[in-house]
Amino acid sequence: MTHSPLRIVVIGSSTAAGTGASPEERAWVNLYHTFLQTLNPASEVINLGMGGQQTFHLLPTEHKPPPERPLPDPERNISRALALHPDAVIVNVPSNDAAARYDAEEQLANFDLILQTALAEGVPAFICTTQPRRFDPDQVRIQTRTKDAVLERYGPLAINLWDDLATGEGFPLENCDSGDGAHLNNLGHERIFQAVQKHDLPSILASAKIQPGFWQKTGEALGLKPEKKPATRRSRIKFKPHVSHQWLALPRLFRLPNLVIVFLSQWLPYWFVLRPALLQAGGMPGLNERTFGLIAAATVLTTLAGYILNDYYDREIDAINRPDRVVVGRHIPSGIVLLIYLGLTVLVHLLALRIFFLMPAPRSVWPLLVFPVVSLFLFLYAWQIKCTPLLGNVLVSLLCGAVPIIPLFPEDRTIWLTSFREPDLIHQATGLVWVYAIFAFATNLLREQVKDLEDFQGDATCGCNTLAVIKGPRVAKIPAGFVGLAVSALIGLLLYFWVENDAPTWQIGAGATLLLLPALIATALTFLATTKRHFTWASHCIKLVMLAGLFLLLSRWPDDPIAALNAIKNQY
């Protein structure tokens, strides 16, 4: 039998995207593409699948979801699929809705809307059933109820993937599991391909072509009552990237408030603590305004590059956790984001080389080591380490703690010489710089753990194995809460030190109000949280502690920071 060329568009999540198959030609979508081309070489399968997608991401672009549900993804949803003028759409979202604990009724409502949108354009959408995943019993029940409901409700438009992949408990068959309990190996993809092939889409589509209005009638028979839109398929507005919003999205990509905190955590302890002490002790600082500016620029740009790369790797997770703030892939293409990251990394390395040549003799190679090593660790964090229990939290917190102490490297010789003249003064100054580093490490460690709890839903859906995902939020709240108690205890010791050293009353009051109280509130919220919103409030409290601490820590060293800064500016 001679078949007409077909264009099939696949929308869905990681299974549709081919996760678990190796090489990628063994993914079920690619196997199906090869099969269709044996029937007609002009046939094609366009794959819009991406890991982490839920049914909400696949809804029409104009759809407004309920609160705390993801927005449609205009690059990979049913609207985008129809804009490609397909003969049929295959919808493959196996388990991410159950991972987020959306019940079967909610999933079916989304499938109804997807089908209604497609059938109104005269295009069938074939709904794949759920697939087995190593879930808890409640999630397995959601999966099986959804599977049964899809088969019962959509009849000829439902493709059964469950039966050839599931054990009696609703878990993946061992010989089909890629090893993580969520994704399929080559055999699993082969069985999905066989199920889709068995459904015989080419024959169904060929029969429908000779029956005018066939798909509209099918929709009416299913109770969807699709209404034809005034515009024809060929006159549809084609999908275009949100070019007008790209530049408006840059501040969100750059996280400017966080970069300001990074800059201040390096600028304040150097210019108001370390440098004044060195000058007072008769030393000649190795940094001037120019070289310090280059170091600060390299630090901030390294941090920015890390943020951008993290957003690139987290785009699937962020589409679930904070859909209204997603930039990568929605406002700015992923390829452009990677080019920005590459450009920033090259610029940082050039700055490191420039700093090396500007340093007075004998030159140290620290700039050529520090910035490349930090860039490497940030890459490893975004690529792999972030999705590990605690290790990612500790690594990124150590990098944050390193920011205040970077200026110690170029000043090491001056610190050594002046420590013989004014040992108490120099030890006090360097000690305070290290207090900044410890404060930055501790507060960032707390925030990272709270952030993992806040992002639990997206991390679990996308297989990011943080402690909250592996052990559950109830267990993960315990170490996060103890870190909060440790931070509160450190702040309490700081307040006690101020009281013992006759610090101004305003300083003690500000420390209690802006440091200790928010830290205690964040700790309590972390221990007692029952919703994502509680973790968000805790995160805001921690940010307040981080920002207030930058200024409150230095108020006693030196005694007159404004006069010290003016003196610094008059130095060469």
Mean pLDDT over 369-378 rounds to: 95
**Per-chain mean pLDDT for the chain:** 87
- pLDDT confidence band for 239 (50 / 70 / 90): very low
Query: Over 338-380, what HEC string results?
Result: HHHHHHHHHHHHHHHHHHHHHCCCCCCCHHHHHHHHHHHHHHH
Global pTM value: 0.64
* CA pair distance 176, 167, nearest whole angstrom: 11
User: pLDDT digits over 444-476, tens only?
Assistant: 999 999 999 988 877 776 678 888 878 878 889
- pLDDT confidence band for 226 (50 / 70 / 90): low
Largest Cα–Cα separation, the chain: 97
Q: Which of 68-72, 399-403, 491-495, 496-500 has the lowest mean pLDDT?
A: 68-72
CB-based burial label for 414 (10 Å; 0-12, 13-18, 19+): buried
pLDDT at 227 over 60: no
Mean pLDDT over 95-100 rounds to: 90
Mean pLDDT over 529-547 rounds to: 91
pLDDT of 477 reads 92
- pLDDT confidence band for 39 (50 / 70 / 90): very high
Closest among 8, 17, 9 to 315, alpha carbons compared: 17
What's the count of helices (H) and strands (E) in the chain, helices before strands?
A: 26, 5
pLDDT of 405 reads 96
- Count Cα neighbours of 307 within 13 Å in the Cβ-side half-sphere: 19
What is 149-186 written as a DSSP string? HHHHHHGGGEE--STTTB-TTSPBPGGGB-SSSSSB-H
Question: Are 201 and 208 a contacting pair, CB within 8 Å?
Answer: no
Higher per-residue confidence, 301 vs 572: 301
pLDDT of 563 reads 56
What is the Cα Rg of the chain in Å?
29
* CA pair distance 182, 197, nearest whole angstrom: 23
Residue 175 phi/psi, 5-degree rounding, is -80, -5
Question: Are 406 and 295 a contacting pair, CB within 8 Å?
Answer: yes
Question: Are 165 and 191 a contacting pair, CB within 8 Å?
Answer: yes
The CATH number for 7-224, chosen from 1.10.10.10, 3.40.640.10, 3.40.50.1110, 3.90.550.10, is 3.40.50.1110
Mean pLDDT over 435-439 rounds to: 95
pLDDT at 306 over 70: yes
Mean pLDDT over 127-140 rounds to: 93
pLDDT of 422 reads 92
CB-based burial label for 183 (10 Å; 0-12, 13-18, 19+): buried
Higher per-residue confidence, 564 vs 544: 544
- pLDDT confidence band for 189 (50 / 70 / 90): very high
- pLDDT confidence band for 241 (50 / 70 / 90): very low
pLDDT of 560 reads 53
Higher per-residue confidence, 326 vs 96: 96
Token code pair at residue 518: 């928010």
Question: Are 35 and 192 a contacting pair, CB within 8 Å?
Answer: no
Mean pLDDT over 226-231 rounds to: 46
Mean pLDDT over 481-508 rounds to: 91
Closest among 503, 504, 511, 515 to 544, alpha carbons compared: 515
DSSP three-state, residue 238: coil
β-sheet bridge partners, residue 88: 8
pLDDT of 434 reads 95
Higher per-residue confidence, 171 vs 330: 171
Residue 225 phi/psi, 5-degree rounding, is 45, 60
Mean pLDDT over 224-233 rounds to: 48
Buried b (16+ CB within 10 A) or exposed e, 215-248: bbebbeebebebeeeeeeeeeeeeeeeeeeebee
pLDDT at 340 over 60: yes
pLDDT at 566 over 70: no
Closest among 63, 81, 34 to 197, alpha carbons compared: 34
pLDDT of 235 reads 34
pLDDT at 380 over 60: yes
